[in-house]
Chain A
Amino acid sequence: MTRLIWAFTMIIIAGALAFAFAQRDTFVYQTPFPVDSLDPAQAYDTASGVITENVFETLYDYVGESVTEFQPALATSWTASDAGDQFTFTLREGVSFHSGNAFTCADVEYTVKRMLVHNPSDSGVWFMAESFLPTQANANAYLGDDATDADYAEYWQWIDNAAVCADDFTITFNLIGPDPAFFTKMMSNVAAIVDRDHAIANGLWDGTEATWRDWVGVNLRDFALHNNPSGTGAYRLVDWDGSTAVLEAFDAYWDGVPPIRNVVYEIVEEQSTRLLAVQAGDADRIAVGDRATLAQIRGAPGVTIHEDPSWVSTTVGMIFFNHNINTTDNPDVGSGMLDGRGIPANFFDDADARKCFAYNFDQDAFIAQVLQGEGAKLTMGLPTGFLGYDPDLPMYNVDFEAALVHCEAAHGGAMWEQGFEFTATYNAGNTTRQAALEILKDNIEFMNPAFRMNVRALSWPDYLAFTDEGKGTMFALGWAPSYADSDYFVHPFYHSEGFYAGRTGINDPVMDDLINQARLTVDEAEREALYSQVGQRAYETMPMLPYPSPTTFIVTRDVIEGVYLNAMYSGQFLWKDISKR
């Protein structure tokens, strides 16, 4: 018996010693973020983008770290009409999909039409749709319940007209009007070119008018492209089991086979586990929550922290003031009146009240403590480096004297006399947003003992529902770019019909006018000037308060070479560009 156990042990140890460790040709990326879907017309989250941007390709692509220089990818050249509402691309020949199918104009046409047909409400197709259609919504949502066949026929005409193939390698996009952002939109993950024949063979929409209405607004997670993608990218998906994704270099990639053979995208929720893994060499790159955490690995042998002062995050964090608070059944407004025990619905509609808060926000303390000294103050709700971002605009920072002027003037002096009490909200787990609000709280309560500002966390679902009902008084959220155009930030933030307007009750005709003009202007210099004016207007009226953006960084093993950061890539760089020593 004992001998048997010994034999067994020896076998196991022999097996263990024969075991191969971290492989030279494998890149393991550990992150806590689960992938939503691999169908470009469905996925709208960063984690999915990390996979899809490597599996699929767009017509043009960014050059290195620049978000304003472009290079040909699946297209080789392009032209736009003078009016800015028609774009023609010449496509690359000799490209093949992972399935083996050849890439032609039909694939590009199918890609555009299918996204407009499906346009799931939780996808990013809306910003593509607004270029081609008079709406951001899919046919069912736009036309409503009592739509006639004729209405649908008209909608189909828009779709059918959107992308037209002149020959196998020339495609023309017909826009509904001039759209200066269209070219960059075509470089977003949503516009990644899918394999038409592969999709149809796997049971997706067949691309004809006869069947399109069955496919409007469907949940694409229920169909084949969700986990069985075929793109032209440098990596093809081997397996994705809902958490771990394994990819392999695509041998027939048109731009040459990439140096790294296998890529593993691994979900590791526990940050400490990831930190240990990168030190042990079990991970080649890890996602790290914030800069402070770097203290745990800075200087560790075998670990490189890639960082650069210019790598300011393109996610804009914002403290929103609700100009028209829904006070019905709202626990956050206290008495609902300006009596020292609550706030009225129009509390933040008063510019002095908002500026009173803005002058109490200590940007430097935020950068020093929360961002560990590495961050950039924002003059307006636009990432630095985006067209029209004006670093020379004045901005609000802690200034008790200036604050006092506005605090005393707010609500005709009633605010200072009576005081107030309200509760600001953030989504649970987001410590950055929490800190921003608590820094503000500390200072504002210091001004006047009758000023009471509470801060509370809501779970993500509650937070969504609560702010959606217009009940959020003051709340923090962030906005990240899907394509590199300033309108993607300015419109949602500042326009009275923007995404946040329903939550903030913002209504400033002057601002709306500036944003509308910028949307239709093709001339870059003119647009730049307009966005700068938006920033100026935002300073004067202070509708919402941007808080500093962190400087980002990338943590890898030291054997990984070629790391760079392009803000428009979900993974910040493409896997095909890196190698492993």
Chain B
Amino acid sequence: MSASHDQHHPMTLSGELRMDTGVIINKCYQCGKCSAGCPLSSEMDYPPSLVMRMLQTDDPKNYDKLLKSMTIWLCVSCEMCLTRCPMEIDIPRLMDNLRQKSVRAKKTNPQAKKIIAFHKSFLDSINYTGRLYEMGMVVDYKMRTGAMTQDVMIAPKMFVKGKLNPIPEIIKGRKKIAEIFNRVQNNKEVKL
């Protein structure tokens, strides 16, 4: 796709999403099969087919609503929508993109704080050690969310069963991983 969005052809929102993800918003004919099969749609503020409709309006107000929505954070990328979509629209890829834009625009829904905190703690752990250090990540997550008492009852049992590693596995190429984190585009939102 050529980026021919000069003043004569200003880039529409759906055009921008097409550039970023390859997804053609107008392919959606609102059958609702995605919303019907989505495991999370009952908890979402906008079920997937409604997200598609809102994007089709090309209205910045609707776009803004989506960046502030819970929907984008509740989506677990289970790919059910794409699997059954008669138009083969890659909604999960669109959701990834909306999430990234939401963080970049600092518009994340306050209620999604825990979900985002978890993702960030997860990536933090990788950034520092190269691998996920589960115990460290959980502590980091608790610091971010203040959910100090969550799951404390389960930890001792996990420890006994050998499921909690007290010492992080630090890989030799730890620095290489940190470099990757430094080199990727838009890395601000993943580094904190």
Partners in one complex: no
By a beta-carbon cutoff of 8 Å, the part of chain A in contact with chain B is none
Interface residues of B (CB under 8 A from A): none
